[in-house]
Amino acid sequence: MATIKTLGLSKTYGTGESMVKALDGVDLTIEQGEFLAIVGRSGSGKTTMLDCMGLLMRPSSGAVIVDGTDASTLNDGQRAELRSKRIGFIFQEFNLLPTMSAMENILLPLRYSGGDRKAARIRAEGFLEEVGLAKRANHRPTQMSGGEQQRVAIARSLINEPTLVLGDEPMGEVDTDTANALLEFMRRINAERRVSFVIVTHDLDLAARTDRVIRLRDGHVISDERPSRQLVQRPAAAAAA
Amino acid sequence: MEILRNLWRRKLRTTLTVSGIVMGIFALTTMGSLAEHFNVLLGGGITYYGGSIQVTDDKSNGGFGAGAMSLDTLQKIQQVDGVLAAGPAVGTSAKPGSVSTVSFGVPDYIMNFDATTTAHSPFKISVASGAFPNDASRFQVTLGSTLASEFRKHVGDTIMLPVRPKDATSDFINHRFTVIGVLDQTLTAPDNGAYVSLHDAQMLLGESLPAALRGTVNPYQLITSVVAYGRPGVNLDALATRITAVVPGVKATKPSDLVSSFKSGGAIFTFMTTAAALLALIIGGLSVVNTMIMSVTERTREIGLKKAIGAKTRNILSEFVAESTAMGLIGGLIGFLLGMLMTFLLNNGDPSGGLFLITPRLTLIALVFAVALGAGAGVIPAMRAARMDPVTALRAQ
Ligand SMILES: Nc1ncnc2c1ncn2[C@@H]1O[C@H](COP(=O)(O)OP(=O)(O)OP(=O)(O)O)[C@@H](O)[C@H]1O
Ligand SMILES: [Mg+2]
């Protein structure tokens, strides 16, 4: 089953003169375990696309289907519920709560999903271990570098074991080496747990290291390709595409 | 606790807001304890005066030591149909000439103790130690709790009564009395009383008269008023009217008139307490609203994030309301404790036992009020937070 699917997804902002068509009939299917990048010029509709897929925003028309559930049939409370159980978010500005330690930030989603705290704590410790922050569990965000904060934020997005993680320019605020390390971590999680990742990025080098690149322009998908790295590794598959 | 950490982050603002609540609850506590004190005081009066009929000379305007009556009037009152019992009341001031300062309380008095009629009173007094004087007692006194502690007297000690005023005239007379009992605290009139036998009370009344008058009357024929009790089922107001009509030269006050005058006295304090509560509501409430609006605005992104990770409207609502409620509770506790300290200090410096009374009921009202204030004032800003659109909130700077 597809992790997430959009059907004729459209979004217009404003009315009349100032009307902007940010998305215009996007059909997209993302399978379980895919690692995908969305690229496109500023204003092409990437953030809008992600907000709709993350059920943070209702499209003007079209549908978003998460794990087989048509989200347009759900009320706001049910959408929040679905979001907390199935979708993780990573943001450009990390968005960690300054009053909380790394561990508390990672466990914050549990407050709203009501999951098993003990099991989640063990998972959180595992994530911190994996990204080399095991000793930083009790540190506040202000005591950590940008890259460290983003690793904590990625762990937070994974804590409820979602099927999909959405990141809007998650590497936008860190240097290239850190960005590579973060991508590495996400790829590893993706490979180990079959969690689908959808990452918006401006960095075409980073995009090239994902499985699939969607290019948007003026709210349309203008290309949907498997980068060359895959070509090298799997020439047969690329030739078929 | 995330709530406390969030409050602690904005120390100055939280402090100011909590101070607003502290002031309000402080005012509520002190005013309320004043009111509680008078509620008990007046409550005692209502019980006592509501269950008995005060009969005075019809030329007097009531009160202690007013116009005097003769003893045979007492017998006439006892014979009125419906009267169960009637006893003499003879009272004088325990501290003559003392200007009662800003004391709202009952002035200290010396009164005869009449065992037979006291037994009929719905207002019960009892001794904490020792005993009451009887008809044969001479120069023996049972002190109210406030008088006993003011003069540090125990059973077996002696006390000069009435207390000599600083500017006593040459004809001032007092006597050495032996303390034979101390009353249980009532928080109302008897605390300020000194109870002696009828004979001694009449003697003191006679001696309190101006020197020129002393020779002309026999004090042992005088009483200041009569207290009458009705038979079971008899309407006391009607009985009072009957006594006034049947016995010449007396005026019996309807118990209901006295009770309603006590109640209107209490209304002033209820009003003062309500005013203090209103003050708390306005000062505390507005500062909570203001602080919470600022907090919501500052934390817009946090709200967006929480919504993105699955917080529902009611989750956000309750988080912010919990914060404002915590401020209410903290402010309420501090304000109440400060109020308690203040009333304690003021009461301590007051020889008559003090004007303030903190009751469990007042404690409950003050704290519940503070918490409700915090919660109530937090609701509107919290609603604003809870209803935010997650996308807009996340993009806020
Ligand atoms: N709230 C809004 N009101 C009106 N127009 C909006 C709003 N949000 C986005 N838009 C418009 O919709 C279009 C798509 O915006 P979107 O933020 O999705 O682009 P983007 O691809 O994420 O751009 P960037 O790379 O700069 O983040 C843009 O033209 C933008 O101006
Ligand atoms: Mg964007």
Closest ligand (CA of A167): 2
Q: Which residues of chain B have pLDDT under 50?
A: 62-66, 101-103
CA-based max dimension of chain B:
99
CA distance B386 to B372: 20
pLDDT per residue over A208-233, tens digit each? 999 999 999 999 999 999 876 544 44
**Cβ contact B308–A83 (<8 Å):** yes
- Distance separating the N- and C-terminal Cα atoms of chain A: 21
List, chain by chain if needed, residues with CB within 6 Å of any ligand 1 atom.
A 13-14, 20, 22, 40, 42-48
A93-114 mean pLDDT: 93
Domain edges within chain B: 2-43+262-395, 59-248
- The pLDDT of residue B65 is 43
ipTM of the complex: 0.91
The per-residue pLDDT for A235 is 44
Q: What is the pLDDT of residues B172-200, one digit of tens each?
A: 888 999 999 999 988 888 888 999 999 99
The CB density around residue B164, as the number of other CB atoms within 10 Å, is 14
Quote the pTM value: 0.78
User: CA-CA distance, B336 to B325, in Å (whole number)?
Assistant: 16
- Tell me the per-residue pLDDT of B59-75, one tens digit each, with 9 for 90 and over: 765 444 446 777 888 88
Task: For chains A and B, count residue pairs whose Cβ atoms are closer than 8 Å.
Answer: 62
Nearest to B42 by CA among B269, B314, B199: B269
Q: What are phi and psi of A5, to 5 degrees?
A: -145, 135
- Give Cα separations from B49 to A17, B54, B231, B262, B305 (angstroms): 83, 8, 16, 9, 67
User: Could you report the per-residue pLDDT of A144-164, keeping only the tens digit for each?
Assistant: 999 999 999 999 999 999 999
Residue A119, both tokens:
């099991």
Asked if pLDDT for residue A39 goes beyond 50, the answer is yes
pLDDT of residue B347: 87
The predicted-structure confidence for A170-196, as pLDDT tens digits, reads as follows 998 889 999 999 999 999 999 999 999
Quick check: A112 and B305 CB within 8 A?
no
pLDDT at res. B60: 60
More confident residue, B94 or A69: A69
Domains of chain A: 34-58+75-240 (3.40.50.300)
Task: Kindly state the percentage of chain A with pLDDT values over 70.
Answer: 94
Q: What is the pLDDT of residue A226?
A: 87
Please tell me the predicted confidence (pLDDT) of residue A234.
45
Q: In angstroms, what separates the C-alpha of B322 from chain A's closest C-alpha?
A: 15
* Residue A108 pLDDT class (50, 70, 90 cuts): very high
- Put simply, the answer to whether A111 touches B315 (Cβ < 8 Å) is yes
Rounded distance between C-alpha atoms, residue B137 and residue B120, angstroms: 22
What is the rounded distance in angstroms from the CA atom of residue B220 to the CA atom of residue A185?
Answer: 107
